[in-house]
Amino acid sequence: MSTLLFVILSSFLFGLLLFAIGQKSFRRITWFASLLPVSLFFYFLSYLTGTSTGEVFDSSIEWVPSLDINFDFRIDGLATLFTLLITGIGSLVFIYTIKYLKGHRHLMRFYAYLSIFMGAMLGLVTANNLITLFIFWELTSISSFFLIGFNNTDRSSRKSAITALSITGLGGLSLLAFAVLLGTLTGTYTISEMLQHPAVFSEHPYSTYLLIFLFLAAFTKSAQFPFHFWLPGAMKAPTPVSTYLHSATMVKAGIYLLLRFSPHFSMNEYFHLILLVFGGFTMLYAAFHTLFRTDLKGILAYSTIGALGIIVFLLGIGTALSITAAIVFIIVHALYKASLFLVTGTIDHQTGTRDITKLGGLRKFLLPLSIAGLLAAISSAGIPPSIGFLGKDLIYESTLHSPYSSLLTTTAVITNIFMVFAGFAVGWKPFAGQVPSTIETVKKPHFILWLAPLMLAVTGIIFGIFPGIIDHLFVTGITDQLSSGTAPHLKLWHGFTFILVLSAITIAGGLLIYKFWKISHKKERAIHRLENISPKNILLQTANYFEQFAYFLTRVFQNGYLRRYVMILLVLLTIVFGVHIFINPRIFLSLKEIRGLEISEIVVCLIMVLSILYTVFTKSRLSAIAGMGVLGYSMCFIFLFYSAPDLAMTQFSIDTLTVILFVLVLYRLPKYLKLSNSTNRIRDGIIATSFGTFLAFTIIEIMNETPLKTTTAFYAENAYELAKGKNIVNVILVDFRGFDTMIEITVLSIAAIGVFALLKLYLKKHEK
Amino acid sequence: MEILLAIMTGILYAAGIYLILRRSLVKLIIGIVVLGNGVNLLIFLMGGLVKGQPPIIPKDSHHIEGIFADPVPQALILTAIVISFGLQSFAIVLIKRAYKVLQTDDIDAMNKTDDIE
Amino acid sequence: MKSIILTTASRTLLPLLILFSVFVLLRGHYLPGGGFIGGLIASIAFILHAFANGLKKSRFLLRIHPGFLIPTGLLLALGSAIVPIIFEGLPMMTGVWYPETLPVIGKVGSALFFDTGVYFVVIGVCLTIIFTISEQA
């Protein structure tokens, strides 16, 4: 069943195809682009009948079987839920954008990026192989980079895109670490098979690292504190992108990952505790922040972070009830948040501003849109009969049935009060009250621009009235799959219970804040003053320091002077040698086979020392070359003394040739000039001498060890047997290591060609 | 003798490094030659010193027995010597050409050669 | 640098040295010697001749440009490395030998041809470098 792979790849192919079609022809067929997500939506819908009863559909294509990396895909309840959200909201976004970005210069590019992003998300949620999942995960990061930075002429837009990429990229690296570690520990990369190794996730000493890597990946992607700041920045993207990324896809990838692995980690107590702490803090922090934003999308950004926090928090509670609540809330949030984003987009498109203080009374001009806004706000606030009410009920039910019920319930209530405010601030405030004097008239938008958000908002209400739909199709199946407990059945009306009281308090509190809290730029500036200690600034500052440090390091080390590079290396090596010798002094004079000095050897060494000194200190080039020649001939003698006749002969010939070479070129070469001052000379002298001294000590130390002679023994044993030769050195050169010699003569040839070319070929004037 | 040769290696290294750290190109290349000799000697020493027993199988035998000089470092050094000739000749011609074009022998004056037309 | 003694001597020395270099090459598998050393000796012989008699004469004596020796040698070495693959189906560079032992040379095998390839490359490289440089100097 490779259709699934094809379906997922089709989005990528489609994206590439768009690039091939070209901008001009694309404009005429923009409707055609929406066919892709719509047909994908119906394709995945066809799985629903199976997956809702717990059936799974597997599909696998070998990729790198030796490393256990394959295109394994599995469609189960969780995957279906996400694919439907991705393609369903994707369809509306695709259609909405036709009118929203009508006539944009890079419309085709936008659709191409969007298709690729959608494909990556679909791959991510259906992958059953952790490495494949990682690849799609990274693809979402990369394609979202292009989407967030779509207005590439805007500096702040580019900056936000880079911030988002670096934060999610960090998470991606961590996911890779998670994948490799987990693959090594369990011996498989197939996610469903990993369930058979429960010990790895809870008892293994490395399970802590697994948790850290997993959380780093999920929290960066799903914008949990302290990695949340890329999300408000990503609002620089065109609104359809924000809609898509933040309601249903990108940020939900982290949630998906946590959900996917929650059965694996179900026995690990830290898993739940950490999720609870981070989710709880994030939701409070973000929900509170919605009070201080004046940009509609800014409010939405923080309320998105808050919603993500709520989902993480629910996963942290870790009961069957709370997982049901999380699933329902994912649906709730996707519907109302996408709707609110699209409402914002249309307001922006028609009035040219998203500043909440400058908007009001728009219901007079944009009536259908205001209905969409109101319905979405109702769902977001959890007012019956919306699905939001259901979601909120379930949240409170989960917190009340958890160990620290009073603390968690209080946190949830406070968060939700702010979320009610945020929903109404975005969904209703622009339409309510008097039309401000700055707005004279607003053009009627194209029907798509209000129909898309209205459809989403109405769906939220329908699901609320008939909760059986999602209960039957998603919630029961997924809860059964992800937790051991049984899922509660969704009902809109539970009767007069304590939860209802809490709900009433939440709604009343939120509406009170909405009524009396005046959103103003002054308050926004006030909270901006706290920016200095925000995670964003701390991170950026750290990045800045790193950059400065890198500049400093480059200035010091890469200064363009050859000597400096050599010197740094040498000083470092000298220190290594020196430290080694001083820390670990051995007795040097314990040489086992110390040999008596013969007069001939002493004479040769003396000649060598003299020739070296002469070469170094002479002021004439010719003398230096002569010294060099004498040095080479003395080397011959050393080779001759110690049983290396081949070396002696070679050294002798090469030395002769070298001297001839130098003498031939000598008169073309510059004369010796005294270029460096005496301070430099002394400094270089000290470096050179200390290096030489330490090296000599190290050599003596090494020579105390018995060398390993296995290679030598093999060659000596087999020289005649295998290669019919008796001169072992020659046999090594032409037979045992003949390939090296082959390469060596090739290198020699290249050197000769180089010399020939340098001397014979002169560039023509115009080529210089 | 090992100690003497170890010291010789140290001296060769020191001299080579000192010459490489000069600003003159000609000294640089002579330094490389001297350092090359030092490296060869170092490899040679690491194989152990044996007198009068070259790694050659006796005429009437198929194996070599007893103590004999290590052929592996010898083969390595032989390769190194020949290669270094190629390197030196290329380097010296390069220097010659560079001197002709730039009219300087000072390495420090060569780090902005991108500007030369 | 014309000296009658050197000129005269070099004329006699050249064939002798070449002969010696071939000798060194051939005996390399059994005694000190081989392609590298043989090649170097041959190059030195030609260079000596060039110093004594002038570059033109040596070039004339050599007939071909020394550069041609480089590909010749490389092909010879490569050929001897490939022969086992083609004829014996053995891995590259496996030694193959003519079963009989020849006088003077001893066993003839692919290794000898490889060494001869090295010999030619070394002559080619050394002569190309030195000749080119001395022409320019």
pLDDT in tens, A125-154: 988 888 989 999 999 999 889 888 888 888
Chain B residues 67-96 with a CB less than 8 Å from chain A? 68-72, 74-75, 77-79, 81-90, 92-96
Report d(CA A665, CA A737) in Å as an integer. Answer: 35
Q: Which bin fits A57, alpha (ψ -120 to 50), beta or left (φ > 0)?
A: beta
Cβ within 8 Å, pair A661-B92: yes
Report d(CA A179, CA A185) in Å as an integer. Answer: 10
Q: Which comes out higher in pLDDT, residue A490 or A764?
A: A490
User: Is there a single domain that holds both residue A326 and residue A243?
Assistant: no
Nearest CA in chain C to A733: C115
Cβ within 8 Å, pair B86-C32: no
Give me the CATH number covering residue B100: 1.10.287.3510
Cβ within 8 Å, pair B40-A635: yes
Report d(CA B48, CA B44) in Å as an integer. Answer: 7
pLDDT in tens, A21-35: 777 777 777 778 888
Q: Please, are residues A298 and A341 in contact by the beta-carbon 8 Å criterion?
A: no
Tell me how many degrees the CA angle A656-A662-A667 measures, rounded to the nearest 5.
Answer: 140
**pLDDT value, residue A587:** 54
Q: Would you place residue A762 in the very low, low, confident or very high pLDDT band (cuts 50, 70, 90)? A: low
Q: How many domains is chain C built from?
A: 1
Q: What is the CA radius of gyration of chain B?
A: 20
Domain that holds residue C23: 4-136
Q: Would you place residue B42 in the very low, low, confident or very high pLDDT band (cuts 50, 70, 90)? A: very high
Domain that holds residue A340: 269-518
- In the predicted structure, residue A528 carries a pLDDT above the cut 80: no
Nearest to B86 among C31, C32, C125 (CB): C125
Cβ within 8 Å, pair B82-C36: yes
Domain that holds residue B67: 2-51+62-115
- In the predicted structure, residue A621 carries a pLDDT above the cut 90: no
User: Is there a single domain that holds both residue A537 and residue A514?
Assistant: no
Question: What residues of chain C lie within 8 A of the CB of A667, using their CB?
Answer: 137
Residue A355: how many other CB atoms lie within 10 Å: 16
Question: What residues of chain A lie within 8 A of the CB of C137, using their CB?
Answer: 664-665, 667-668
Q: Which of A232, A267, A302 is the last residue of a domain?
A: A267
Residue A526: how many other CB atoms lie within 10 Å: 11
Report d(CA A288, CA A293) in Å as an integer. Answer: 10
Q: Which comes out higher in pLDDT, residue A393 or A634?
A: A634
**pLDDT value, residue C75:** 92
User: Is there a single domain that holds both residue A633 and residue A724?
Assistant: no
User: Is there a single domain that holds both residue A129 and residue A251?
Assistant: yes
Report d(CA A369, CA B72) in Å as an integer. Answer: 85
Q: How many domains is chain B built from?
A: 1
Token pair for residue A395?
Answer: 């949240």
User: Is there a single domain that holds both residue A443 and residue A529?
Assistant: no
Q: Please, are residues A524 and A293 in contact by the beta-carbon 8 Å criterion?
A: yes
Nearest to A754 among B54, B90, B100 (CB): B90
Dihedral sign of CA atoms A98, A99, A103, A109 in order: negative
Average per-residue pLDDT for chain A? 84
Q: Would you place residue A74 in the very low, low, confident or very high pLDDT band (cuts 50, 70, 90)? A: confident
Contacts of residue A690, Cβ cutoff 8 Å, sequence gap at least 6: A574, A578
Average per-residue pLDDT for chain B? 85
Token pair for residue B78?
Answer: 């032989």
pLDDT in tens, A261-310: 888 888 888 888 888 889 999 988 888 888 888 888 888 888 899 899 99
**pLDDT value, residue C127:** 92
Mean pLDDT of A211-221: 90
pLDDT in tens, B63-114: 887 788 888 899 999 999 999 999 999 998 888 888 877 777 777 777 665 5
Contacts of residue B76, Cβ cutoff 8 Å, sequence gap at least 6: B43
Chains with 3+ CB–CB pairs under 8 A to C are A, B
Do the strands A69-75 and C106-109 form a parallel or antiparallel pair, or are they unpaired? unpaired
Nearest CA in chain B to C130: B89
Chain B residues 40-69 with a CB less than 8 Å from chain A? 40-42, 44-59, 62-64, 68-69
- In the predicted structure, residue A460 carries a pLDDT above the cut 80: yes
Cβ within 8 Å, pair B82-C32: no
CA C49 to chain centre: 16
pTM above threshold 0.80: no
Interface pTM, i.e. ipTM: 0.93
**pLDDT value, residue B114:** 58
Tell me how many degrees the CA angle A700-A704-A705 measures, rounded to the nearest 5.
Answer: 125
User: Is there a single domain that holds both residue A347 and residue A447?
Assistant: yes
Scanning chain C, the segments in alpha helix (DSSP H) are 4-27, 35-53, 55-62, 69-83, 110-136
Tell me how many degrees the CA angle A350-A37-A306 measures, rounded to the nearest 5.
Answer: 60
Distance (Å) from the alpha carbon of A584 to chain B's nearest alpha carbon:
19
- Assess if residue B28 is contained within a domain: yes
Report d(CA A55, CA A310) in Å as an integer. Answer: 29
- Assess if residue B66 is contained within a domain: yes
Report d(CA B108, CA A531) in Å as an integer. Answer: 48
User: Is there a single domain that holds both residue A335 and residue A474?
Assistant: yes
pLDDT in tens, A372-392: 888 888 888 888 788 888 888
User: What are φ and ψ of residue A439, in 5° steps?
Assistant: -100, 120
Chain A residues 548-567 with a CB less than 8 Å from chain C? none
Distance (Å) from the alpha carbon of C31 to chain B's nearest alpha carbon:
7
User: Is there a single domain that holds both residue A102 and residue A57?
Assistant: yes
Q: How far apart are the first and last CA of chain A?
A: 62
Cβ within 8 Å, pair A752-C35: no
- Assess if residue A564 is contained within a domain: no
Helix (H, G, I), strand (E, B) or coil at A252: helix
Nearest to A741 among C67, C118, C124 (CB): C118
Report d(CA A384, CA A639) in Å as an integer. Answer: 97
Q: Would you place residue A628 in the very low, low, confident or very high pLDDT band (cuts 50, 70, 90)? A: very high
Cβ within 8 Å, pair B85-A654: yes
Beta bridge partners of A677: none
- Assess if residue A571 is contained within a domain: no
**Lookup result for tokens 């992108």:** A241
Mean pLDDT of A88-109: 84
Q: What is the amino acid identity at position C40?
A: L
Nearest to C37 among A650, A731, A752 (CB): A650
Q: Please, are residues A292 and A520 in contact by the beta-carbon 8 Å criterion?
A: no
**pLDDT value, residue A487:** 66
Cβ within 8 Å, pair A654-C137: no
- In the predicted structure, residue A588 carries a pLDDT above the cut 80: no
Q: Please, are residues C80 and C120 in contact by the beta-carbon 8 Å criterion?
A: no
Report d(CA A483, CA A617) in Å as an integer. Answer: 83
Q: What is the amino acid identity at position A643?
A: S
Q: Which residue numbers in chain C have pLDDT < 70?
A: 1-2, 103-106, 137
Report d(CA A40, CA A52) in Å as an integer. Answer: 18
- Assess if residue A579 is contained within a domain: no
- Assess if residue B88 is contained within a domain: yes
User: Is there a single domain that holds both residue A491 and residue A526?
Assistant: no
Chains with 3+ CB–CB pairs under 8 A to B are A, C
Q: Which helix (H) or strand (E) holds A15?
A: helix A3-21
Residue A726: how many other CB atoms lie within 10 Å: 22
- In the predicted structure, residue B117 carries a pLDDT above the cut 60: no
Q: DSSP assignment, residue A736?
A: I
Cβ within 8 Å, pair B90-A751: yes
Question: What residues of chain C lie within 8 A of the CB of B89, using their CB?
Answer: 129, 133
**pLDDT value, residue B26:** 85
Q: How many domains is chain A built from?
A: 5
- In the predicted structure, residue A103 carries a pLDDT above the cut 80: no
User: Is there a single domain that holds both residue A60 and residue A176?
Assistant: yes
Q: Please, are residues A307 and A334 in contact by the beta-carbon 8 Å criterion?
A: no
Token pair for residue A643?
Answer: 């049983």
Q: What is the DSSP string of A485-522?
A: SPPPPP-S---S-HHHHHHHHHHHHHHHHHHHPPP-HH
Report d(CA C21, CA C38) in Å as an integer. Answer: 4
Mean pLDDT of A45-58: 81
User: Is there a single domain that holds both residue A545 and residue A491?
Assistant: no
pLDDT in tens, A223-253: 888 888 888 888 888 888 888 888 778 888 8
Q: Would you place residue A745 in the very low, low, confident or very high pLDDT band (cuts 50, 70, 90)? A: very high
Helix (H, G, I), strand (E, B) or coil at A293: coil
Question: What residues of chain A lie within 8 A of the CB of C71, using their CB?
Answer: 749
Q: Please, are residues A18 and A108 in contact by the beta-carbon 8 Å criterion?
A: yes
Beta bridge partners of C106: C102
**Lookup result for tokens 């004594």:** C52
User: Is there a single domain that holds both residue A427 and residue A525?
Assistant: no
- Assess if residue B57 is contained within a domain: no
pLDDT in tens, A412-422: 888 888 888 88
Least confident of A321-335, A593-607, B83-97: A593-607
